[in-house]
Amino acid sequence: MSDRILVDAKNTFCPGPLMELISNMKMADVGDELELLSTDEGSAADVPEWINKVGHEIIESFKEDEVLHIIVKKIK
Amino acid sequence: MSEKINVMITTENMEQMQMAAMIASVGAVSGNDVSVFLSMNALKFFLKDNNHKAPVAGDMGKTMLEKKVPPFLELFQQAVELGDAKIYPCSMAMDMLEIKSDDLFDYVGDPMGLTKFISDVKQGQVWSF
């Protein structure tokens, strides 16, 4: 069973959420899921762009109480 | 697709340091080959005993300091550690300011001369701040 790692990057601005996701991604194992929390509007577009470019998988993305949640699976 | 991205920084303004750091870090973690060349007023921020505050140039800089933006030095370090960016201090600036490699943060690479930098940037994007 893989872990889900919570990356709380609320209240930080671009490129804070992306960099926090990536530093956690580096330490995660292949197959792990990471859940990024962000309140930065720019990251809503930028983070999925990075995930697709690098080749990981977006499991789910939704907004709840003004907080964006992006759940991503580490593929490689 | 991976590209070569060269960033030359000579400014000491906070806004420009911040933008340069964003290009370097986001560029590097997106799989690009990033080289940063530090000269003139930008080099001093990378001294280990750095107590230089980057002056803000305008309103945006003031706002960025009030809000929680990632400090530019942190972004440069992440560019190196997470994205394998290379940061080169200008050898002329090192001589002029009497700075030794050991005086600079460990994530800063060996000094580079302008001749080598000019030769390296023949390929790829060049960003200047």
**Chain-chain contact of B70 with A13 (C-beta, under 8 angstroms):** yes
* Backbone dihedral region for residue B31 (phi beyond 0: left; psi -120 to 50: alpha; all else: beta): left
Q: How far is CA A62 from the centre of its chain?
A: 12
A14 counts as catalytic: yes
Is the CB of A15 less than 8 angstroms away from the CB of B26?
A: yes
Helix axes B14-29, B72-83, angle to 10 degrees: 20
ipTM for the whole complex:
0.83
Find chain B residues with C-beta within 8 A of A18's C-beta: 26, 29
pLDDT of residue B62: 94
Reported as a single tens digit per residue, the pLDDT across A13-62 is 989 999 999 999 999 999 999 999 999 998 888 999 999 999 999 999 99
Q: Which residue among A10, A12, A14, A37 is the active-site one?
A: A14
- Specify the pLDDT at position B116: 93
| Residue A8 with chain B: CB contacts under 8 Å | none
pLDDT above 70 for A1: no
pTM: 0.91
- Do residues A18 and A34 touch, judged by C-beta distance below 8 A? no
Q: Which residues of chain B have pLDDT under 70?
A: 1
Mean pLDDT of chain B: 95
